[in-house]
Homo-oligomer: A and B are copies of this chain.
Amino acid sequence: MAEQKIPYKIYLSEDEIPKQWYNVRADMKTKPAPLLNPATLEPMTFDDLRPVFCDELVKQELDDDTAYIDIPLDIQDFYRMYRPAPLVRAYCLEKKLQTPAKIYYKFEGNNTSGSHKLNSAIAQAYYAKKQGLKGVTTETGAGQWGTALSMACSYFDLDCKVYMVKVSYEQKPFRREVMRTYGASVTPSPSDTTNVGRQILERYPGTTGSLGCAISEAVEVATTNEGYRYVLGSVLNQVLLHQSVIGLETKAAMDKYNITPDIIIGCAGGGSNLGGLISPFMGEKLRGEKNYDIIAVEPASCPSFTRGKYAYDFCDTGMVCPLAKMYTLGSGFIPSANHAGGLRFHGMSSTLSQLYHDGYMRAVSVEQTSVFEAAEQFARVEGILPAPESSHAIRVAIDEALKCKETGEEKTILFGLTGTGYFDLVAYQKFNDGEMSDYIPTDEELQKSFDSLPKVDK
């Protein structure tokens, strides 16, 4: 064939799954600001971090220089169970929109955890196993990360203790059961199994919990039990490193068919998906080799990039974790109760924050009813029920494709479809019943939250 027809789904062969992760920090002229010790306000050192994280992960967290890091063979083996993930040409969506744009999405939902989180979970579990640990602890809100981690720990026969925000524990029993099926112990947080949990229960009897509280419990258990470490599913440098497999695979698939994206779109909560998807493209942009229009999409109800401050802040509401410099809404910010799905973290990965600050990407915020409209439109023609998180990216991809329809431009649009919405049907039901509403925090609300930012002169 003279002209190469692009298939609906581009699958790399297993040999083509990346064998190295790419560390975008190596190509950044201005490195992301370091984590600070909350007691001394000095940069966290290897020794500061090793009681909390595995040694090898601390090294990755602190390494701003090594561009490529080998993916251990055991992780490569595991990746073969669910990777390569398909890069899909959205022919049916293009046709529906009658757009000259070419739309591609990288689909990371084809595994039981239902999202890209597994890419980092397996890496973190591997290093814990390699260090001879007994197990790991973590928190989970909606449950994607907890599920991914329980799958990874099951594979390596590691104990997995998940602190699940109590309201989710009760409202998402199915997520909980998947984790239990993979052998994890799941404790509703706050619980009476930790000091911090007991204190919170005493102070706020009947509380339904928060992610910040669950983090504090998980960290306490990890640091007070021999042979345990704490693991986190987003925000951290190490997580973005592991997630670079998304972007590397995407780029390899595109290169194979001589496709160059004009626009790259990802949803952004803590930044793990966006950071992973864009990493090799951002590398080219940082090195001045290529230019891409890179767009972070966040919910209007939790707008850390578009309305947050670039400042040092706590990563958790319990204020036990190190300080990170990031676009933040303040560690006390909690999105309105009507906010569906994830993307509810108050801050954004330090790496992405620096890149955004330096003008290498832009951000837009979208309201949730328009997000679910896009989700429904996508589901009906592309056959995948998308996660609410991913649907933020779909919304903007559709908007950009419709702009092309206006202008006649044949732009190539790439977005990340991070996962499926099988465990988010309460939100879909609200949408189907016309009971979903939008919420945008007022300037006054945000200002009040900013007032709680720690005073750090860096």
On chain B, the residues within 8 Å of A412 by CB distance are none
**Are B112 and A178 in contact, CB atoms less than 8 angstroms apart?**
no
Residue with the greatest number of chain B CB neighbours at <10 A, chosen from A180, A181, A422, A432: A181
Residue with the greatest number of chain B CB neighbours at <10 A, chosen from A81, A376, A381, A431: A81
Q: Which of A6-14, A272-280, A295-303 makes up part of the contact surface?
A: A6-14
**Are B178 and A381 in contact, CB atoms less than 8 angstroms apart?**
no
**Closest Cβ–Cβ distance, residue A175 to chain B (whole Å):** 8
**Are B432 and A155 in contact, CB atoms less than 8 angstroms apart?**
no
Knowing A7-B14, A13-B7, A422-B423 touch, does A81 contact B429 (C-beta < 8 A)? no
Q: Which of A234-242, A382-390, A400-408, A435-443 makes up part of the contact surface?
A: A382-390
In whole angstroms, what is the CA distance A14 to B8 when docked?
8
Mask: chain A, 413-453; 1 = CB below 8 Å from B; 0 = not: 00000001011010011011000000000000000000000
A173 on interface, CB distance cutoff 8 Å:
yes
Residue with the greatest number of chain B CB neighbours at <10 A, chosen from A80, A174, A177, A180: A177
On chain B, the residues within 8 Å of A127 by CB distance are none
**Closest Cβ–Cβ distance, residue A126 to chain B (whole Å):** 15
In whole angstroms, what is the CA distance A249 to B363 when docked?
43
Question: Considering only CB atoms, which chain B residue lies closest to A82 in the complex?
Answer: B383
A357 on interface, CB distance cutoff 8 Å:
no
On chain B, the residues within 8 Å of A155 by CB distance are 92, 380-381, 383
**Closest Cβ–Cβ distance, residue A253 to chain B (whole Å):** 13
Q: Which of B181, B381, B382 contacts A379 (CB 8 A)?
A: B181
On chain B, the residues within 8 Å of A420 by CB distance are 112
**Closest Cβ–Cβ distance, residue A1 to chain B (whole Å):** 10
On chain B, the residues within 8 Å of A380 by CB distance are 154-155, 181-183
- Complex copy number for this chain: 2
**Are B425 and A178 in contact, CB atoms less than 8 angstroms apart?**
yes
A291 on interface, CB distance cutoff 8 Å:
no
Mask: chain A, 253-275; 1 = CB below 8 Å from B; 0 = not: 00000000000000000000000
Question: Considering only CB atoms, which chain B residue lies closest to A422 in the complex?
Answer: B422
Q: Which of B92, B111, B428 contacts A383 (CB 8 A)?
A: B111
**Closest Cβ–Cβ distance, residue A186 to chain B (whole Å):** 10
Q: Which of B81, B151, B181, B383 contacts A112 (CB 8 A)?
A: B383
Q: Which of B383, B385, B432 contacts A81 (CB 8 A)?
A: B383
**Are A177 and B432 in contact, CB atoms less than 8 angstroms apart?**
yes
Question: Considering only CB atoms, which chain B residue lies closest to A81 in the complex?
Answer: B383
In whole angstroms, what is the CA distance A417 to B405 when docked?
42
In whole angstroms, what is the CA distance A173 to B433 when docked?
13
- 30 examples of A-B residue contacts, CB within 8 angstroms: A7-B13, A7-B14, A8-B14, A8-B81, A9-B80, A81-B92, A81-B383, A82-B383, A92-B155, A111-B384, A112-B383, A112-B384, A112-B385, A112-B422, A114-B422, A151-B383, A154-B380, A155-B380, A155-B383, A173-B425, A177-B429, A178-B385, A180-B428, A180-B429, A180-B432, A181-B379, A181-B432, A182-B379, A182-B380, A422-B422
8 closest A-B pairs by CB: A174-B425, A8-B80, A154-B380, A177-B425, A112-B385, A422-B422, A177-B429, A7-B14
What would 6 more interface pairs be, CB under 8 Å, given A9-B80, A181-B379? A7-B14, A82-B383, A111-B383, A155-B381, A178-B428, A181-B385
